[in-house]
Structure 1
Amino acid sequence: MTSSDAHVYDSPAERVSEHIQRYVETGGEEGHDWNGVPTLLLTTKGRKSGKLRRTALIYGRSGASYVVVASLGGAPTHPAWYLNLQENPEVALQVGPEDLTAIARTANDDEKPALWRMMAEIWPAYDEYQTKTDRAIPVVVLDPVPA
């Protein structure tokens, strides 16, 4: 997805940006565990700018895949990272010390209920977020690409 010298733009939210920097600087030693839940760093290619955009997200596992929720705290619109991966599904992940490439896809109607329950067990606020918005909050499956 990226060349190692490409500039990556971190989330404009200060608390998220600080979390990302700690995560990167420590190779995941700090930041992988955030408030008792696991987080990964997701880098997408901007659908309009073409710039690499990175954010930190809570994740779960389903087999070899990583699972994240495009909640944006229950906002009425999808987060930018979700819109980016819809346009360009090849993404970069940092999970703890591991860097990998993955292909992102939105969970289908058959798999979403079980994945949603799994993610709501990890972060119960997801259920509350869904009540705050009329949009169906997407669950995203990140399938690692073999090295």
Structure 2
Amino acid sequence: MTSSEQVVDSPTGWVAEHIQRYVETGGAEGHEWRPGVYTLLLTTRGRRSGKRRRTALIYGRDGDDYLVVGSEGGAPKHPAWVLNLLAEPQVEVQVGPETFPARARIATPEEKPRMWPTMAAIWPAYDDYQARTDREIPVVVLERL
């Protein structure tokens, strides 16, 4: 993924505005989205379009890895960014002012029971989202390359 290519930000208006403030300020605005709730920017390669697509996500940590949740508010389908990283796991991550390449993967069935409580402690609504869908909401592990 080359950072010189144009990036398409989230089609959701408030998310796109959040991303732009985050990028323009090097994360000074937007990294801490709500008190104690931090966000990163994840750029994936569109599985159909081939375009670089960027979204803002709440994150947690597991050792050196970053964790994000593919909740889509409990919708019946995975968010597009999860489908994109399943097709192409090479992603770009921005945390505050730092941008780096990473490999994205779904947490294994053995890892998820340890990781989910970390994320639900940061954003308790994740438990509500899981309760409202039959879909297994994934925890995604972002491993710095």
TM over 0.5: yes
1:103 equivalent in structure 2: 103
Structure 2 CA distance, aligned partners of 1:124 and 1:100?
28
Structure 1 CA distance, aligned partners of 2:92 and 2:52?
10
1:76 equivalent in structure 2: 76
Structure 2 CA distance, aligned partners of 1:113 and 1:124?
15
Runs of 4+ in 1 over 2 A off after TM superposition: none
TM-score (norm 1): 0.97
Structure 1 CA distance, aligned partners of 2:140 and 2:19?
20
Taking only the aligned residue pairs, the percentage that are identical comes to 65
Equivalences for residues 19-30 of structure 1 within 5 A: 19-30=18-29
Structure 1 CA distance, aligned partners of 2:13 and 2:110?
36
Offset of residue 5 of structure 1: 2.1
Secondary structure of 2:17's match? Answer: helix
1:141 equivalent in structure 2: 141
Offset of residue 114 of structure 1: 1.1
1:14 equivalent in structure 2: 13
Q: RMSD across aligned C-alpha pairs, in angstroms?
A: 0.5
Amino acid at match of 2:83: L
Aligned residues: 144
Equivalences for residues 82-93 of structure 1 within 5 A: 82-93=82-93
Structure 1 CA distance, aligned partners of 2:121 and 2:4?
38
Gaps of 5+ in 1: none
Deviations 1:43-102 (CA, angstroms, capped at 9, x unpaired): 000000000000000000111100000000000100000000000000000000000000
